Structure 1
Amino acid sequence: MEDNHMEENEQKLEKEVAPALIAVHPNQLSVTVSIGSDLRVFNLHDGSGAKLLDENGGHKDSIRAIRYSKSGRFFVSAGDDKLVKFWDTNSWHCFCSVVSEKRVTSLAISNDEMFVCFADKFGMVYVVDIRDYNYENQGSVNKKAVPILSHYCSIITRLEFSPDGKYIVTADRDFKIRVTVFPKEPVNGAHEIQSFCLGHTEFVSCIAFVSSQDCAQGLLVSGSGDSTVRLWDYASDTLLDTCDVGAKAGLLNSNQGQEEMVPAVTDLCAASDGSLVAVAIQSLPGIMLLSCNLSARTLSIAKVVAVKGETFIPTSIGASFSIPLLWMVMGASSLHNTDSTLLARVRVISGFGSNQSEPVSHETSVLEDTEIPGGEPLLQELQGKLSIGEEAFSTAAEAVKTAMRNLLIKKNYSAERREVRKKGRNDKKNQSPA
């Protein structure tokens, strides 16, 4: 009885809180925020919220991954309800739903928009072939996903396609980054491993590519629970540079002999010109900007852009390809209004990714709410409420931090506890007796 109770508590901790996420259309035609099972879209072209059309009623549990395709013609969302949904961004009609065997943790869309890959909590990566489907059609279709690769029983935290489309990169909670050759026919499996980028000492929470016209293949940056951001030549598994962002931000705390609390990097976003990398860090009320020199293959701290006047610790960040704005959101699936509306907070930083002819410190600033594209209507649509209490967001920040560590930091179990957990696994319970 006690073991069952412990198991229930562990599962509750992992599922309890999901961070708010943000994604920006490549040409900044729309901005999407997900919080809990809510998917909120604001159309900047006509200045209004988009109405999502889904015959199956949308997501039923927390959304864990959202992504626009490279052209912005379609959008994909996935999460704890084991559903991967495809949306046409002209009509915001859900034209395809794919069922995953396990909860989805991350997704990526190939640069040619022919394939969508997603990862589940058990470390499997699947591919959906959408070459033969006209996603502007108002009908809907159910497609099947095909497994193509796996990390051995390790939660995959992030998927990304390389800028040239040759590789798919997967990061996991066991400190690994795997670079796999993405084949012409991935439905037959992706079996050729190019490299492993090894060096982090805690879970890898996020990855992103930095590239420019002079460096089309680009380099890889990764963030981790070890409070570092690392720069890689991913094709040759070479570690080029390391930034200890937690120490530089002054966030490392020592509790009188107790274990040092290291703030995790929660998200990364690279500017379209490859000059800057924005870093979201637990406990940092704002964003750290790293300057990336692709020629010298170095990372350096450019500045910390602080959000003043409120506790704003981003849970997700994003940017478009064409406009030098960094969009940030803070929120958690546990943060409710009195009418049960899920609450989020959106902020924007200007000067992200413009040609850096002047020092970065003179070009970046946090926009006031009245200066944000879309203004008050956008905030009303994406946040759920314009005025949100300070205490609520402080609570949300701690809840997200706890949930992330419970999910991604590996737990040490005795042999007896491992056997109990095996017996309680859902896939074992659902098996019919032989």
Structure 2
Amino acid sequence: MEDTAVEEAEVSGAAEFAPALVAAHPQGHSVAVAVGAELRVFDLKTGSAVSLSDDAGGSSHSDAIRAICFSATGALFASAGDDKLVKVWKTDSWRCIRTTTSEKRVSSVAISKDEHYVTFADKFGVVWLVPLGEDGGEQVSTIEKPMSILGHYCSIITSMKFSPDGRFIATADRDSKIRVTLFPKNPLKGAHEIQSFCLGHTHFVSCIAFTHISGGQSFLLSGGGDSTVRLWDYINGCLLDTFQVRDKMGELLEPNETDDSNLAIADICPSSDGLLVAVAIQGFNGAVLLTCDLIGKKLSFLKLITMEKSYIPTSLASSSSNELLWTVMGASNMPNQAASQLLTRLRIIPHFEKDLLSSSDNSPAVLEDSEVPHGEKLLLALQGSLDTAKQEEVLASVLAALKVSMHKMLVKKHYSEERREQRKRGRNDKKIKS
């Protein structure tokens, strides 16, 4: 790639694009949406929006949130992003119990299965760990100095997940690598034992997720800028199957829309029973459903869920209890975007379980606004507005950026020597003095 082309992409503004994110409580108790610096949570049990409180004495997020996640039981929730803050929340009260400051911007976050640790990755490719204690961090602490435990040095970590049994932590980066590391009993001494590398993607890896059949072996799923979804035996680092998105989407999109920048995988989400995988694609207005045969170790196309032309999901989430697939569209850090324009749009797909496998309908239903749980109350809390006209105006600009944003964020940039020196002089990520 030419230096000038990359530099133009960088300064255009869209390179700082921050997609809206969605996360669902494992037992379906709540759903959270992050857009820009805003964290919006809706309690599905009480049917009301959640008011967040911060007992850790730190500040709220002041810049784009880049990563959110629930813990395995749903007792904890973590958020992190460009303001270099990592915040841990207790979901029974939605109060922040821990605020940690990173030296660099944060790209991914995860909570260990036992809920004793939160890990986060920075833009330099280092994974840091903060202990929460055996009580899940109940004792409030303002600042806890993180410890580095592993790294993909000089490569941005795009996704990080703990395995279902908690024994491994998987990390993916923009240089097409997936590393599976044994998570030690005492991670404060570092996580030095690499279990495997899952190598096969030919472009950046944008997302990873573990999947398993109840009581059975677990596997790793990944999606990336090479327009593929891959199934891995992560214990041995073996590629089991590859689904090529371009082969299917070429039938639906215009010829000029089938390049890599439109067909990069934005997110993947397996169903709780391990039989389905939902895939969000950078330039597609909807989602692709794949069947995941973990016995035959095979990924196969099942159905397309097509939504309105103006809706391209940026994030997916599901929970085991209500069989809903949550999708969100939205963005922040757009050129000339005001804080009042931080709108998102939600679309919810029901019956995201084995029932879809037996359905003969090629157009699975997407819930209408009037059919979503708790109706307008939920939409107002998570979308930010019910004004359809206003949404269309704001999200139209988001739609244009979505089709090129991921490559501008994740493709590895190359600079001339002169440009490299200019960037060094303008850096604002100096280490925080302890």
- How high is the TM-score relative to the length of structure 1? 0.90
Matched, 1:368 2:374: no
1:325 aligned residue: 324
1:99 aligned residue: 101
Cα deviation 1:274-298 (Å, max 9, x = unaligned): 0000000011111100100000000
Distance 1:35 1:176 in 2: 28
2:348 aligned residue: 348
Distance 1:47 1:155 in 2: 38
Which segment is superposed worse, 150-159 or 356-365? 356-365
CA contact (8 A) 2:108 2:158 kept: yes
Which segment is superposed worse, 373-382 or 258-267? 258-267
CA contact (8 A) 1:181 1:192 kept: yes
Q: What does residue range 12-27 of structure 1 map to in structure 2 within 5 Å? A: 13=13, 16-27=16-27
Q: Tell me the CA shift for residue 12 of structure 1.
A: 7.1
Cα deviation 1:23-51 (Å, max 9, x = unaligned): 11111111110100000111111111111
* Pair 1:345–1:275, CA change in 2 (3 A): same
Q: Tell me the CA shift for residue 337 of structure 1.
A: 8.8
Which segment is superposed worse, 260-269 or 233-242? 260-269
Distance 1:169 1:211 in 2: 15
1:66 aligned residue: 68
CA contact (8 A) 1:7 1:421 kept: no
Q: Tell me the CA shift for residue 427 of structure 1.
A: 5.1
CA contact (8 A) 1:22 1:33 kept: yes
Aligned pair partner of 1:87 in 86, 89, 94: 89
Q: Secondary structure at the match of 1:296?
A: coil
Specify every segment of 5 or more residues in structure 1 that has no aligned partner in the other structure, as ranges: none
Matched, 1:379 2:379: yes
1:282 aligned residue: 282
* Pair 1:295–1:45, CA change in 2 (3 A): same
Q: What does residue range 219-238 of structure 1 map to in structure 2 within 5 Å? A: 219-238=219-238
2:239 aligned residue: 239
Distance 1:363 1:416 in 2: 53
Distance 2:267 2:90 in 1: 26
Matched, 1:312 2:311: yes
Distance 1:337 1:14 in 2: 11
| Residue identity (%) | 52
Q: Tell me the CA shift for residue 417 of structure 1.
A: 3.5
Q: Tell me the CA shift for residue 338 of structure 1.
A: 8.0
1:264 aligned residue: 264
Which segment is superposed worse, 55-64 or 79-88? 55-64
2:293 aligned residue: 293
CA contact (8 A) 1:331 1:396 kept: yes
Which segment is superposed worse, 333-342 or 396-405? 333-342
Q: Which amino acid is 1:36 matched to?
A: G
Q: Secondary structure at the match of 2:53?
A: coil
1:149 aligned residue: 150
Q: Which amino acid is 2:105 matched to?
A: R
CA contact (8 A) 1:86 1:96 kept: yes
- How high is the TM-score relative to the length of structure 2? 0.90
Q: Which amino acid is 1:405 matched to?
A: H
Q: Which amino acid is 1:375 matched to?
A: G
CA contact (8 A) 1:350 1:363 kept: no
Distance 2:409 2:287 in 1: 24
Distance 2:207 2:236 in 1: 20
CA contact (8 A) 1:98 1:145 kept: yes
CA contact (8 A) 1:252 1:260 kept: no
Q: Secondary structure at the match of 1:365?
A: coil
Q: Which amino acid is 1:274 matched to?
A: G
Q: Secondary structure at the match of 2:352?
A: coil
Distance 2:27 2:360 in 1: 23
Q: Tell me the CA shift for residue 169 of structure 1.
A: 0.5
